[in-house]
Structure 1
Amino acid sequence: MQEAALVERAPPDARSQLVEAGSDREVVAAWLMEYRTSPQTFRQYRKEAERLLLWLESKGKRLSHIDRRALDEFEAFLARPTPVTEWVGPPRPRQSDEWRPFRKGLSAASRRQALVILQTLFGWLIEAGWLHQNPFRLMRDKRRRLDNTSDSIERYLERPLWRWCWQQLNMGPPADATPRIHYELERRRFVFAFAYLLAPRVSEMSQARMNDFRMREGQWWWQVIGKGGKRASIPVPDAMMTALIQWRGMLGLPAMPSPEEETPVIRALDGRRGVGDNQLYRMIKATFERLAQTREHEGESTSHDAQRLRQATPHWLRHTAITHQAQQGVELRYLSRTARHSRLETTARYLHAETQEWHGQINRHTLDLSDEHQDDTL
């Protein structure tokens, strides 16, 4: 994608700057460096900032030109990036001329997330002295648009659908399956077990090493560096150790990992190299698509399930894990530590039991609408 020409000028009062930058791109790069210790956050923030900069450059504008109306224009552009040939395309290396900033227009939830990230950027730019006004403050419906929380988490698989998925993942390979097919099926099964039993983020799974699993006083713990570079120890349930032992058997390794075994947990087809975030993301999405096709073929009554599976992303597995733990009675304080949330309010969004009880009790309030009880005199 060719970048539009842009005349760069210093902000209105360069003397007030707290960062060294001579252009919008340089100051945004300085902002991104604040997140360099969190690769997943860095990539997400870079993507949203880059889309904004490219959009501005296509119009010959700078960050300082964004006003309230421009925010609405940009949000509409995120929903339908046009011209499509210039903005939308399949995955390509960033250095390729065929690289595009979008795979498709963003959903309402994705647009909201983009605005949340850009609001963070603008707040930082003001603190840095690069900008002197924040158009996000003028959004009348700011709370609805920028509050990226909801009453409860909805992007998860309900227990019956998850059980069906797990049954499908545990189906053995065909009799004529090649060693590669055996390997891929076992890897797929392990990835979903890992995601469901420990509730990791995709980046945490791809970066996991065998010696991150450690025994202390007869119990296994998973050592993980999560969002913001925070370290945590997560209890490893017996089912996870069973899955890990089976996966290590496929790799030709001893049953239990050793403290010196600093090798990838999830591996490429050669059984040695690790997999990147994007590769793991695509692997899980492809599995959801196959599951959706299988579910769809089971009949019309399962079409809703198939639609849910097609909507599902790898992060849904994390939501599913935390939600199901909550439904099984795991205390909020432990649930929050497993999820590694900084606030209990975030974890509380996964507690669906109260809403189910509420619905059940309200359902007692009813009417008899059968024809045989209607009064003909009315």
Structure 2
Amino acid sequence: MDSNRVSPSCRQGEAQRIAARSDAEAVAQWLAEFRASPQTLRAYRREAERLLLWLEPQGRGLAQLRRYDLDAFESFLAAPMPEERWIGPPRPRHAPDWRPFRGPLSPASRRQSLVILQGLFAWLVEAGWVEHNPFRLMRDKRRRLDNRQAGIERYLERPLWEWLWQWLERPLSDESDGRQRYAWQRRRTLFGFAYLLAPRLSEMATAEMGDFFEREGRWWWRVVGKGGKVARIPVPADMLALLGEWRTVLGLVALPRPGEEGPVLRGLDGCRGLGDNQLYRLIRDTFREAAEALKAEAGEPAMAQVARLRAATPHWLRHTALTHQAQAGVELRYLASTARHARLDTTARYLHTEDEEWHRQQSAHGLPGRAGESV
């Protein structure tokens, strides 16, 4: 990325309200506004960096971005070419084989990218770094940029989740060594934690044993979420049992002690914590392994479910947890507290009751002579 590219408005001496000498420095100042929320910061940095890298070979900066460029950029997000330059496996940012994409972005991910970049340009306009926000000229701006309209689709339906959990529960063979048994128990704990408490990936990575505590006979999980907000989440009996089994493997007593130090999820040495990238790879590798197992077991009839598992990312587990809680009848206000959403309409995206009722009523409309048949 050419961090020295200077905005034309800066060179022309126009009103500038930030101390920046290049696009990269201006973007860095925007990103600094989100330093209290590491997960948001990482997501916003990724999208801004992709845009700067896309502009670089064109010899242009942010101030030269125009409305007609946005369609080309969205097409690029859908198919970054050439693949060898843009797409690669997870690597540290400064590794020689690092790439900005893991693969083409889905429509939802492209929409989210545009939402983030719209916010970036709104800030840059206020900062006097660029003259206008090209995203405001998009005719279908509402459809593209309102990311709260559609319901949640990236989750595992209950039958698929139940199969996945039963697969995770399958005991190891008698020939398995201690390392394999440790990894098996850790994987169960990781997926159980994600499903039962609906944490974000970064929240699992930073979870400490002492964050689980008891008050008046009830167990809670204390979590610091987005924006540094502290919340507490009820810990169900299944999570407490799973945590106890994991702690036994670690050589600890079954229940956490007040103020106990040490990460919940740990490396193979049983001591050090796992970072976001390590957890991401563990979950993705598990989804891929499960997909191959389901394909081998069920074959062609299960290929749609196999594809879902192959596409699943760690955040699907949070979506799955919240969707299943909504389907189980958890009230919206409690669901919003578990999700730690600032707006109820964000949480309402996990409610699929309207879709179910719509589909039920629509089934009464059919062709003559075929009443009662279902698809």
State whether TM-score is above 0.5: yes
Partner of 2:125: 126
Residue pair 1:4, 1:54 contacting (<8 A) in 2 also:
no
Partner of 2:39: 40
Q: Which secondary structure does the structure 2 equivalent of 1:282 belong to?
A: helix
Partner of 2:215: 216
Amino acid at match of 2:219: W
The answer as to 2:348 corresponding to 1:348 is yes
- 1:10–1:141: structure 2 CA closer, same or farther, 3 Å change rule? closer
Identical aligned pairs, as a percentage? 59
Amino acid at match of 1:54: L
Amino acid at match of 2:239: M
Residue pair 1:267, 1:273 contacting (<8 A) in 2 also:
yes
The answer as to 2:102 corresponding to 1:89 is no
Residue pair 1:9, 1:23 contacting (<8 A) in 2 also:
no
d(CA) in 1 for partners of 2:219, 2:117 = 40
The answer as to 2:303 corresponding to 1:303 is yes
Residue pair 1:116, 1:146 contacting (<8 A) in 2 also:
yes
| Superposition deviation, residue 14 in structure 1 | 4.3
d(CA) in 2 for partners of 1:337, 1:14 = 48
Q: Which secondary structure does the structure 1 equivalent of 2:222 belong to?
A: strand
Residue pair 2:219, 2:234 contacting (<8 A) in 1 also:
yes
d(CA) in 2 for partners of 1:303, 1:62 = 44
Amino acid at match of 2:185: E
Partner of 1:374: none
| Superposition deviation, residue 368 in structure 1 | 5.1
Amino acid at match of 2:82: P
Partner of 2:319: 319
Query: Unmatched 5+ residue regions in structure 2?
Result: 371-375
Q: How does 1:1-378 map to 2 (within 5 A)?
A: 3=2, 6=5, 11=10, 14=13, 16-297=15-296, 298-367=298-367, 369=369
d(CA) in 2 for partners of 1:84, 1:227 = 33
| Superposition deviation, residue 42 in structure 1 | 0.9
Partner of 1:375: none
d(CA) in 2 for partners of 1:96, 1:33 = 24
| Superposition deviation, residue 313 in structure 1 | 1.1
| Superposition deviation, residue 8 in structure 1 | 5.7
Of residues 269-278 and 301-310 in structure 1, the stretch that sits farther from structure 2 once superposed is 301-310
d(CA) in 2 for partners of 1:93, 1:347 = 33
| Superposition deviation, residue 87 in structure 1 | 2.5
- 1:179–1:72: structure 2 CA closer, same or farther, 3 Å change rule? same
Q: Structure 2 length as normaliser, TM-score? A: 0.94
d(CA) in 2 for partners of 1:127, 1:74 = 23
Q: Which secondary structure does the structure 1 equivalent of 2:10 belong to?
A: coil
Residue pair 1:173, 1:182 contacting (<8 A) in 2 also:
yes
Q: Structure 1 length as normaliser, TM-score? A: 0.93
d(CA) in 2 for partners of 1:88, 1:139 = 28
| Superposition deviation, residue 172 in structure 1 | 0.5
| Superposition deviation, residue 91 in structure 1 | 2.9
Q: Cα deviation per residue 1:232-280 (whole Å; 9 max; x = unaligned)?
A: 1111111111111111011110111112212100011111110011110
Q: Which has the larger radius of gyration?
A: 1
Q: Which secondary structure does the structure 2 equivalent of 1:214 belong to?
A: strand
d(CA) in 2 for partners of 1:302, 1:95 = 40
Q: Which secondary structure does the structure 2 equivalent of 1:17 belong to?
A: coil
d(CA) in 2 for partners of 1:303, 1:151 = 25
Residue pair 1:5, 1:57 contacting (<8 A) in 2 also:
no
Amino acid at match of 1:50: E
Q: Cα deviation per residue 1:95-131 (whole Å; 9 max; x = unaligned)?
A: 2333222232322222111111110100111111112
d(CA) in 1 for partners of 2:199, 2:101 = 26
RMSD: 1.9
| Superposition deviation, residue 5 in structure 1 | 7.4
Residue pair 1:86, 1:100 contacting (<8 A) in 2 also:
yes
- 1:275–1:267: structure 2 CA closer, same or farther, 3 Å change rule? same
Residue pair 1:4, 1:58 contacting (<8 A) in 2 also:
no
Q: Which secondary structure does the structure 2 equivalent of 1:234 belong to?
A: strand
d(CA) in 1 for partners of 2:84, 2:291 = 30
d(CA) in 1 for partners of 2:19, 2:75 = 33
Query: Unmatched 5+ residue regions in structure 1?
Result: 371-378
- 1:239–1:61: structure 2 CA closer, same or farther, 3 Å change rule? same
Q: Cα deviation per residue 1:156-200 (whole Å; 9 max; x = unaligned)?
A: 111111111111111100110011110111111111110111000
d(CA) in 2 for partners of 1:209, 1:328 = 29
d(CA) in 1 for partners of 2:4, 2:196 = 50
